[in-house]
Structure 1
Amino acid sequence: MTAPGTMTAKPPLALSAASFVSTFDRFAVTPMLVLIAAGLGAPLAATVSVASGYFLAYGVSQAAWGVLSDRYGRIRIMRLTLLGAAAAGVVSALAPELTSLIVARIAAGACFGAIIPTSLTYVGDTVAQQQRQQALSRLVGLMAIGTALATALSGALADLVHWRAVFVLPALLAVPCSFALRGLPEPKLPEVTSLRTHVTAVLRNRWALVVFGLAFVEGGVLLGTMTFLASALQHHGVEATAAGLATAGYGIGVWAFSALLRLVSQRWPVWLLIVVGGAQMCAGYVIVTAHVDITTVVISTLLLGGGWSFMHSSLQTWATSVAPTARGTAVSMFASALFGGSAASAAVGGLLVEDGQYPLLFGATAAVGAVLTTVAALARHRYRP
C-alpha cells in the first residue's frame, strides 16, 4: 500500500500515459464532426451527438467509478476500464451508421471516464497537500500534450486516411497502458461500510456541492463550447487538417500556462488563480465572437488553455480536499458535473451551429464565463476547510 504523501510531485509514467490516452480520445472528435456528418450522410446537429453523447457518458459514469475505486482500488478500476475503452474504440471504427457510432462512443466515453478522475484521486491519495497542486498541474500539462496531438492529428488523419482511423489509435494505445499500470501500488483505501452512506456523506457536504455546481458551469463554458471552434472554421471554408491544427493551440496553452502556474501557485491565493484563469477564458471567447479565422481561433484556444490551467486546476485541487474521507467519490462527482455541463452545452450549441449562429454561441459563453469567474473566486475566498 502507498501512504499519503509518499509520492513526489512528479506523477508516475504509467499514470501519465493512461491520462494522455484518455485525453487524446476525448478531444479527437472535435475536428471531425463535419467529416463524420458528410461521410454518414447525417445532419451536423445530429452528428454532434457523437461528441455530446461521449461527454455525457464520460461525465455521468465518473460518479460510479469514484465509488468503485474507493471500494475496489484505483489501479484495478483504471486497468479494467482501459480494456473496455479499447474494445469500444474498435467498435466505433467499424460502426456502419450514425446510431451505432453514437452508441459506441457513449461506451468509449463511459470507460475512458474512469481514467482522469481516478488518476487525480491517486495523486490526492499519494501526494502531500503542499505539493498536490504542483503534481496535479504536471499531470494536467501532460494531458495537454494529448489534447494538442488529438486535435492536430485527428484532423490530419481524417483528411489523409479516414475519420474511422482516428478511433483506432487510442484503442490500440489503451491496451499497453492497462498492463503498464500493474507496476503501481494501490494506496490505502478509505473504509466503505455502505456505499449509500459513502455517497450521502459527500452530497451532504455544502462546499462539495458548491464545487460540483461550479464544475458543471465550467464544463459547459469551456469544454462544451470549445467543441465548435473547429467546426466554426470549417463553416468558413477551412479544411479539417488546418482546423485541427488551429485548435491544437488549446493543448499548447494548457501546457505552457501549467508551467507558469507551477511558478506562482505557491505565492498567489487560489481565488486570484481562478480570476486569472476566468479572465483568459472570457477573452478567448470574446475574440472569436468578433471574428472567426485561423489566427483568432489559435489565440482563442491558447487563452482557453490558460483558463483551464489556472481556473480548472484550482477547482480540481479544491475537489481533492473538500471531502477527504471520500476523496474518490468526491473527485468523480466533480468530474461528472464537469462533463455533464459540457454535454449539455454541446447539445445546445449543436442547435445554434446548425444555423451558423457561431457569434451568438461564443458571445453567450463569454457572458456566462464572466459570471462563473466571479462566483467561483468569491466562493473560494470564503472557503474554510
Structure 2
Amino acid sequence: MANADQPFDGAAATPTGVPRMAYVLTGCIAVIGSNSLGLGPIAPEVARSLDTSVPAVMTAAAAFGLGTSASALFLARHIDRIGARRMLQLALALLSAALVVTALSPIVTVLVTAQLVAGIASGIALPAIYSSAASVAPPGRESRTIGVVLTGWTLSMVAGVSLSAVLADVVHWRAVFAAIAVLALAAIAMLSFSSYRDVRASQSSPLPLEALKIKGAKPLLIACGAFMAAFYGIYGYLGDYLNNGLGQPVSANGLAALTYGLGFGAAALLDNIVDRLGATRVMPAAFIAAGTVYVGMALFGGSFTAVLIAVFLWGLANHFGLNVLIMRLTALDPTRRGTIMGLNSAVTYLAGFVGTAAFGPLYTGLGFSISAFAAAVLMLIAALAAAWRTAEDTTLDIGAERS
C-alpha cells in the first residue's frame, strides 16, 4: 500500500486533505530544479566571467547529471535504513555547500566539480523526496499529494529559471547560486520543524541491482526509461527547432518553457482523477496521450502556435505520466522505497543522457518531425510496459483499492 507504514496525521493536513509536509517537499523539489535547470540560461554570462566557452560551462550540467545518476544508483538505497527525512536533510546540506562553492568558483574546473557534488546530493534528495511523498499521502489522496510535490518542478521552471536570468542580469550570476544555497538551508529548517517522522527499515539495504528482483520493478523502469528518453530527446532540440526551423527569436524558447511548465502545473488540479480511477489504469493512457502529443508535433510542427499548444498538452500529459509512475513504483515495496526510487532516478538521468545523444543525429539528419515520431514510438513502448504490469497483477491499483 502507498502508506501502510506511515499512518496519516490528520492534524497535519490542509483543508484540501493534502498534508502540509507535501508543500515542504514541493519546496525541496523547487530548490533542486532551480539548480539543475538554471545554468543553461545564464551560461553565456558565466562563460564571460570565467573567460571560457559556453560548452565548457555546460560541462557542469553534464557533471550534475552524472553525479545524480551515480548517487541515485549506489547511495539512495540507504534511505530505507537511515530514514528519508534524515537523508534528505543531509543531502540538502551537501547541496547547499556545493552551491556556495559554485557561486565562488574562480575557474570552470571548480564549477564543474561543484556541480558534480551537487548532482551527488540531488541523487540522494530526489528519491528521499518521492519516498516521503508516498509515505505522508493520506489514503485515497496519493495522486493529489504526489501531484502537489511534483509542482516543485513547475516552480523551478517557471519561477526559478526566469528569476535566475533576471538576477544574473541585475546582480551577478554568482548571486543565483548563492540564493539557491540559502533556499536549500531554508528547506532544511522547514524539515527540522516538521512533525513528520519516517519509519526506518529493519533489514539491511539491498544492492541496487538486487532491487530489480522486486516484483513489478522491471517493466515500470522500462517504462520510465522510454518515457524520459522521449522527453529529453525532444526537449533538448526544441529550442534549436524554434530558432532555426521556425525562425523564432531566442525569447521563444523561454515562452515554450513557460508554456510547458504551466501545462505541467495545471495538471495538478486534475490529480483527483487518478485517485478515483487508479494509477494502473491511468498510466498507459497517460503515456499514450503523451505519444499523441508527439505525433501532433510531427504533423503540425510547422506552426509556432500549434507547437505552443502541443507543448502545453505535453506538460499536462507528462505530469500524469510522472505522477502515476512514482505512485506505482513506491507501492511495489514500502519498506524499500528509497532503493526503488534511487533506481528510478538513475534510470531517469541515464535515459536523459541516452535520449539527448541518440536524438541529436536523428534531429540533425532527418529533422524535427521524424524525431517527434520516434518519441511517439518510445511512448508506445512505455505504454506497453505499463500495461504489462496491469495485466500481470492489478492489486497495485491503489485508487481502486481505496474506492
- The TM-score with structure 1 as length reference comes to 0.84
Instruction: Give the match for residue 274 of structure 2.
Output: 265
Distance 2:60 2:234 in 1: 15
Asked if the contact 1:154–1:166 (Cα under 8 Å) also holds between the matched residues in 2, the reply is yes
| CA distance in structure 1 between the aligned counterparts of 2:47 and 2:309, rounded to whole angstroms | 27
Task: Look up the equivalent residue of 1:225 and give its one-letter code.
Answer: I
The alpha-carbon deviation at position 363 of structure 1 amounts to 3.5
In structure 1, what residue type is equivalent to 2:89? R
Q: 1:336: Cα distance to partner?
A: 1.8
1:69 match: 79
- Read off the aligned partner of 1:302 and give its amino acid letter: F
Q: Which residue of 1 aligns with 2:201?
A: 190
Aligned residue number for residue 345 of structure 1 = 355
Give the CA deviation at 1:222: 1.9
Say whether the 8 Å CA contact 1:58–1:110 is kept in structure 2. yes
| Structure 2 match to 1:25 | 35
- Indicate yes or no: 2:384 matched with 1:374: yes
**1:219 matched residue in structure 2:** 228
Question: Which residue of 212, 217, 220 maps to 1:208?
Answer: 217
Distance 1:38 1:215 in 2: 38
Residue 4 of structure 1 is matched in structure 2 by 6
> For each residue in 1:312-364, what CA deviation from the matched residue of structure 2 results, as whole angstroms up to 9, or x when unmatched?
21111001111222122112212221222112223334566678954444342
- Tell me if the contact between 2:30 and 2:160 (Cα under 8 Å) persists in the aligned partners: no
Question: How much has 1:117 moved relative to structure 2?
Answer: 1.8
Instruction: Assess if the C-alpha contact under 8 Å between 2:141 and 2:275 holds in 1.
Output: no
Aligned to 2:401: none
Q: 2:188 & 2:240 partners in 1: Cα distance?
A: 33
Give the superposition deviation at 1:260. 1.2
Please say if residues 267 and 319 of structure 2, whose CA atoms lie closer than 8 Å, have aligned partners that are also in contact.
Answer: yes
Task: Give the 3 Å change call, closer, same or farther, for CA 355–273 of structure 1 in structure 2.
Answer: same
Deviation at 1:219, TM superposition (A): 1.8
In structure 1, list runs of 5 or more residues that go unmatched. Answer: none
**Residue 267 of structure 1 aligns to a residue in which SS?**
helix
Is the Cα contact below 8 Å between 2:239 and 2:253 reproduced in 1? yes
Of 228, 247, 253, which residue of structure 1 is paired with 2:237?
228
Moved more, 35-44 or 269-278: 35-44
On the 8 A contact 1:247/1:297 being kept in 2, the answer is no
Match for residue 254 of structure 1? 264
Matched, 1:303 2:303: no
Indicate how the Cα distance of structure 1 residues 239 and 113 shifts in structure 2: closer, same or farther if over 3 A, else same.
farther
Q: Would you say 1:364 and 2:374 are equivalent positions?
A: yes
Runs (5+) with no aligned partner, structure 2: 396-403
Distance 1:271 1:43, change over 3 A: same
1:21-42: CA deviation from partner (whole Å, max 9, x where unpaired) = 1222233245456776788654
What amino acid is the match of 1:210? Answer: P
RMSD: 3.3
1:314 to 318, 324, 333: 324
Change (3 A) 1:292 1:151: farther
- Structure 1 residues 297 and 48, CA, compared in 2 at 3 Å: closer, same or farther? farther
| Candidates 179, 182, 191, aligned match of 1:172 | 182
User: 1:174: Cα distance to partner?
Assistant: 0.9
In 2 relative to 1, CA 55–224 (structure 1 residues): closer, same or farther, beyond 3 Å? Answer: farther
Match of 1:276 among 250, 270, 285: 285
Q: Distance in 1 between matches of 2:60 and 2:369?
A: 23
AA aligned to 1:312 is L
Question: Percent of aligned positions with the same letter in both sequences?
Answer: 22
Describe the SS at the equivalent of 2:135: helix
Choose 287-296 or 177-186, whichever is displaced more.
287-296
- Give, in whole Å, the separation in 2 of the partners of 1:136 and 1:72: 22
* Residue-pair matches, total: 380
Q: What CA deviation, in whole Å up to 9, does each residue of 1:155-176 have, x standing for no partner?
A: 5555666655544432231111
Does the C-alpha gap of structure 1 residues 228 and 51 become closer, same or farther in structure 2, counting only changes over 3 Å?
A: farther
**Cα distance, 1:19–1:215 mapped onto 2, change above 3 Å:** same
1:118 to 2:120 alignment: no
Q: Counterpart in 1 of 2:253? A: 243
| One-letter code aligned to 2:188 | S
Q: SS at 2:111's partner residue?
A: helix
Rg larger in 1 or in 2? 2
